């Protein structure tokens, strides 16, 4: 609460300085703030105030603000800037961040900014723009320090002082041979404690973990998590060093992939944002809802096929929501476990077999307990042991099958290189509704003689 009050006071003071057009005092106070706080203040302003801020700050200072704003929210700001000023902001940004933003803009705007931009910055950005989205190449940065294995520690320190301010990170130095192939890695610590005349090849580590430029960004994130890397080098098929991916880029990837999986798990084409209007929200949700509508019609038609059974024993209709709901719930639980395990790479071949066996056993145990419980409840409520046994056995069979379906469907999708998150909660629930109806009414029809009084 105290920190919030402090921020509010600071924001009010900055507003006052902007209204007075006190450029010097505003710059002094604003630049002293943390870049994240600068970005939050900037986001809270109307367009006329933002235009004033652009005139008070340099492209380099605005670039730092833009690097602390969500990619999805950033396009309007570059649209409202003067095009030449915007091009200079892009030139001052880290190349990978600039590429991420340009990928959100129309091709016409991208071409316009690249034309205005200085040649060096434009060339670096163009180099990354041609890589396919969501690959290592699309998220890597070319602002890194590469050193030759034949140079000395002394020469490397000179190079580090010269190139360090522009590099994304200096904690790791990447060693290349005369053909610019990656041959080793050197930590800043090992460099500092070594004698000045020592050659790099004598102190570097030849145990290199790198990623291909075409590798999927989710796989890169998984690898960096496994190895606890702050950065990882990106190479082509001949091991030429092309760039590096740093941990801050991977955090963005993890957030993006989590949002993507969440949207699929919720059966929408993209996550709804607070500023989306009703039309956009409906557009994102409708595709899956239409598919689920037709699947629901299949469920309804199945119930219609058992109309004769319902006419003879109408009490069966009472328990349709119960059995379908239990199937959907247990299927979604199994689905969540399977998708999570696949997402974080927990399952090898043996792991998948163990998952299936475990989920089958889990379904059997939970199904048996729930089946016995509902049998007793129905007997006490309706006074009909055969009806209780029918519903109880149906629930037991349904929970076993639904649990297996919830774990098997994502595993099958993963086997065919389909994102397992597509096996979303609503989708698997609808499929399990169909399975549960077939089991319930199939058993009711087969043993109808025991139910007729």
How does pLDDT run along the chain (453 residues), one tens digit per residue?
A: 445 556 778 888 888 888 888 889 899 999 999 888 999 999 988 898 899 999 999 999 999 999 888 887 888 899 899 999 999 999 888 888 888 888 888 888 888 888 888 888 888 888 888 888 888 988 898 888 999 999 999 999 999 999 988 888 888 899 999 888 999 999 999 999 999 999 999 999 988 899 999 998 888 888 888 888 888 999 998 899 999 998 888 887 777 766 665 555 555 555 555 555 677 667 766 776 677 677 777 777 877 778 777 777 788 888 888 888 888 888 878 877 777 777 666 666 567 788 888 888 998 999 899 999 999 998 898 888 888 888 889 889 989 988 888 888 888 877 777 666 655 566 777 788 888 888 888 888 887 776 665
Please state the three-class secondary structure of 185-253 as a single string. Answer: EEEHHHHHCCCCCCEHHHHCECCCCCEECCCEHHHHHHHHHHHCCCEEEEECCCCEEEEEEEHHHHHHH
**Does 435 map to a domain?**
yes
Considering the domain architecture, whether residues 320 and 432 belong to the same structural domain is answered as: yes
Considering the domain architecture, whether residues 306 and 443 belong to the same structural domain is answered as: yes
The total domain count for the chain is 3
Give the β-pairing of 172-176 and 182-187. antiparallel
**Does 300 map to a domain?**
yes
pLDDT in tens, 54-79: 999 999 999 999 988 888 788 889 98
Please report the pLDDT score of residue 63 as a whole number.
92
Please state the three-class secondary structure of the chain as a single string. Answer: CHHHHHHHHHHHHHHHHHHHCCHHHHHHHHHCCCHHHHHHHHHCCCHHHHHHHHHHCCHHHHHHHHCCCCHHHCHHHHHHCCHHHHHHHHHHCCHHHHHHHHCCCCHHHHHHHHHHCCHHHHHHHHHHHCCCCCEHHHHCECCCCEEECCCEHHHHHHHHHHHHHHCCCCCEEEEECCCCEEEEEEEHHHHHCCCCCCEHHHHCECCCCCEECCCEHHHHHHHHHHHCCCEEEEECCCCEEEEEEEHHHHHHHHHHHHHHHHHHHCCCCCCCCCCCCHHHHHHHHHHHHHHHHHHHHHHHHHHHHCHHHHHHCHHHHHHHHHHHHHHHHHHHHHHHHHHHHHHCCCCCHHHHHHHHHHHHHHHHHHHHHHHHHHHHHHHHHHCCHHHHHHHHHHHHHHHHHHHHHHHHHHHHHHHCCCCHHHCCHHHHHHHHHHHHHHHHHHHHHHCHHHHCC
Q: With CA atoms as reference, report the closest residue to 181 among 159, 207, 155, 148.
A: 148
**Does 221 map to a domain?**
yes
pLDDT in tens, 143-197: 889 999 999 999 999 999 999 888 888 888 999 998 889 999 999 999 999 999 9
Considering the domain architecture, whether residues 302 and 363 belong to the same structural domain is answered as: yes
Please report the pLDDT score of residue 198 as a whole number.
93
Q: With CA atoms as reference, report the closest residue to 327 among 356, 370, 372, 288.
A: 370
Measuring CA to CA, how many Å separate 421 from each of 135, 263, 289, 316, 424? 19, 9, 16, 34, 6
Considering the domain architecture, whether residues 318 and 413 belong to the same structural domain is answered as: yes
Considering the domain architecture, whether residues 72 and 105 belong to the same structural domain is answered as: yes
326, 332, 338, 343: CA torsion to nearest 10: -170
Neighbours of 28 (CB within 10 A): 11
Asked whether 39 and 68 are in contact (CB, 8 A), the reply is: yes
Please report the pLDDT score of residue 449 as a whole number.
72
Extract the tokens encoding 168: 């994304």
**Does 140 map to a domain?**
no
CATH number at residue 230: 3.10.580.10
Considering the domain architecture, whether residues 199 and 337 belong to the same structural domain is answered as: no
Q: For residues 26 and 16, what is the distance between their CA atoms, to the nearest angstrom?
A: 9
CATH number at residue 96: 1.25.60.10
Look at the alpha carbons of 392, 354, 331, 447 in this order and tell me if their dihedral is positive or negative.
negative
**Does 322 map to a domain?**
yes
Considering the domain architecture, whether residues 197 and 242 belong to the same structural domain is answered as: yes
Considering the domain architecture, whether residues 151 and 115 belong to the same structural domain is answered as: no
Please report the pLDDT score of residue 322 as a whole number.
86
**Does 269 map to a domain?**
no
**Does 267 map to a domain?**
no
Please report the pLDDT score of residue 441 as a whole number.
85
pTM of the model as a whole: 0.58
pLDDT in tens, 92-112: 888 888 888 888 888 888 888
Q: With CA atoms as reference, report the closest residue to 434 among 398, 387, 391, 403.
A: 398
Considering the domain architecture, whether residues 21 and 98 belong to the same structural domain is answered as: yes
Considering the domain architecture, whether residues 289 and 415 belong to the same structural domain is answered as: yes
φ and ψ of 166, to 5 deg: -95, -10
Considering the domain architecture, whether residues 444 and 313 belong to the same structural domain is answered as: yes
- CB burial of 390-417 (b: ≥16 within 10 Å; e: otherwise) equals bbbbbbbbbbbbbbbbbbbbbbebbeee
Please report the pLDDT score of residue 1 as a whole number.
46
CATH number at residue 285: 1.10.357.20
Q: Which domain holds residue 52?
A: 2-130
Domain boundary residue, one of 100, 130, 160: 130
Considering the domain architecture, whether residues 364 and 299 belong to the same structural domain is answered as: yes
Asked whether 354 and 375 are in contact (CB, 8 A), the reply is: no
């Amino acid at each position: 609460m105290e920190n919030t009050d402090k921020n509010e006071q600071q924001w009010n003071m900055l507003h006052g300085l902007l209204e007075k057009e006190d450029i010097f005092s505003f710059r002094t106070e604003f630049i002293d703030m943390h870049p994240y706080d600068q970005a939050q203040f900037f986001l809270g302003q109307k367009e006329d105030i933002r235009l004033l801020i652009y005139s008070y700050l340099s492209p380099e200072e605005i670039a730092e603000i833009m690097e602390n704003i969500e990619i999805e929210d950033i396009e309007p700001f570059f649209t409202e800037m003067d095009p030449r000023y915007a091009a200079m902001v892009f030139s001052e940004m880290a190349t990978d961040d600039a590429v991420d933003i340009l990928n959100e803009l129309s091709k016409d705007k991208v071409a316009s900014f690249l034309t205005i931009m200085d040649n060096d910055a434009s060339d670096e950005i163009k180099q990354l723009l041609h890589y396919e989205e969501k690959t290592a190449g699309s998220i890597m940065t070319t602002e890194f320090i590469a050193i030759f294995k034949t140079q000395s520690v002394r020469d490397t320190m000179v190079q580090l002082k010269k190139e360090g301010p522009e590099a994304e990170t200096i904690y790791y130095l990447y060693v290349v041979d005369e053909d610019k192939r990656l041959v080793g890695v050197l930590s800043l610590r090992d460099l500092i404690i070594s004698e000045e005349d020592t050659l790099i090849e004598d102190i570097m580590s030849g145990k290199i973990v790198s990623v291909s430029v075409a590798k999927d960004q989710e796989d890169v994130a998984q690898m960096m998590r496994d190895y606890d890397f702050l950065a990882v080098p990106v190479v082509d098929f001949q091991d030429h060093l092309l760039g590096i991916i740093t941990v801050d880029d991977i955090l963005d990837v993890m957030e993006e992939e989590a949002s993507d999986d969440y949207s699929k798990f919720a059966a929408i084409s993209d996550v709804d944002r607070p500023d989306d209007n009703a039309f956009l929200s409906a557009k994102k949700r409708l595709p899956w809802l239409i598919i689920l509508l037709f699947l629901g019609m299949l469920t309804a038609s199945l119930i219609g096929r058992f109309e004769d059974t319902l006419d003879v024993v109408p009490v069966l209709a009472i328990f349709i929501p119960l059995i379908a709901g239990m199937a959907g719930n247990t299927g979604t639980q199994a689905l969540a476990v399977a998708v999570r395990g696949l997402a974080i790479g927990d399952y090898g071949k043996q792991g998948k077999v163990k998952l299936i066996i475990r989920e089958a056993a889990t379904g059997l145990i939970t199904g048996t307990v729930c089946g016995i419980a509902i049998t007793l409840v129905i007997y006490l409520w309706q006074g009909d042991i055969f009806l209780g046994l029918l519903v109880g056995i149906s629930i037991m069979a349904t929970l076993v099958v639904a649990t297996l379906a919830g774990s098997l469907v994502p595993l099958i999708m993963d086997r065919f290189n389909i994102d397992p998150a597509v096996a979303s909660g609503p989708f698997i629930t609808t499929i399990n509704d169909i399975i549960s109806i077939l089991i319930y009414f199939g058993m009711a029809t087969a043993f109808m003689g025991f139910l007729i009084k």
